[in-house]
Structure 1
Amino acid sequence: MNRRDALTGIIELLLQFHPEGIPILLGDVACPSGLEWLPLVEAARGNDDLGVRICKDPSVSQLLDQVGQADEIDRTLEEIGWDNVVEATRAVRAFSPRDWDMFVLHLSFVTDYSRLGDKSPLQAVADKCRVSPKTVSRRRQEIPEQIARLASMRFQQALHW
């Protein structure tokens, strides 16, 4: 996996599993580091609860795997530089405010289990933004990729951002 794809995954991890994902990306809240990534990695794995109690020793290998993933996240962020991620996020927000708003609305309201009145949340966001639901979904996917691409390129260093 290349560095940009890894960063996109890290951004998605923050957005989907951290309660302050957007403020972290904007630099308003400190980025997790080290073992602070473990709850996010665990949440991303999902719940493997089978509905029955099984007596077993805690899995040391699973814990070591999670710590290894947290180390890999830190290593990727050190390579790219968290400041580059924050600046790329701010640039996307500044240069594409309409797309940014669609992205934030999608993150805020579109879930698998909610409805806004008689519409799906996706349709409600699309109506508010006066675009199709497909466009809202596409923007939701594109923004993290765009942030990762810009941060990986370190564009702000070239522009003296």
Structure 2
Amino acid sequence: MKKTTNTSLDRRRALALLGGGAAAISFLGLAGCGGSDDAPQPELIKPEPEPEPASPPTQKEPVESTAGDSASSMGDAEAPASSDPSASDGTGTMPRVDEGSAKARQLAYVHDAATVSTSEQPRYAEGQQCANCALYQGGSAEWGGCPLFSGQQVKRTGWCNAYAPRGG
């Protein structure tokens, strides 16, 4: 600790002896680094303006089809997601949920609620189906939208484990 005190005193003495001259020397030393006016100046590079953002591409509804799908062989632009060729809703607006898809399996979705086993799906109660679920957006139509399967339709008689009874 005694050594620290001596060092502090040595620094104080040095500053006292130099006084304000130490600051002046530093400033004058930097002033001499400016160079002359005829010395080459670095070229400033201006950033290029950013290009206008392109509008996002429009996305068509997802289409899943197989080589044997009758809708594909007839040359239709859009086929239902289900492998059942009779699953067309007549409007061609949205494909139907495929029970074998990862999302459908995750939610235990089936097209026919009568096939749900209460031992495998304890949340299921008799009478529950998409038609009386708060999430079903099909009204009285046989197939309708559901926010859980965006861009796809679920069957009115279907069920999944996210079933929520429609209120009042």
Shorter-chain TM-score: which interval?
under 0.3
The structure that has the greater radius of gyration is 2
- Normalising to structure 1: TM-score of the pair? 0.20
Q: RCO (CA 8 Å, sep 6+): is it higher in 1 or 2? A: 1
Larger helix fraction of residues:
1
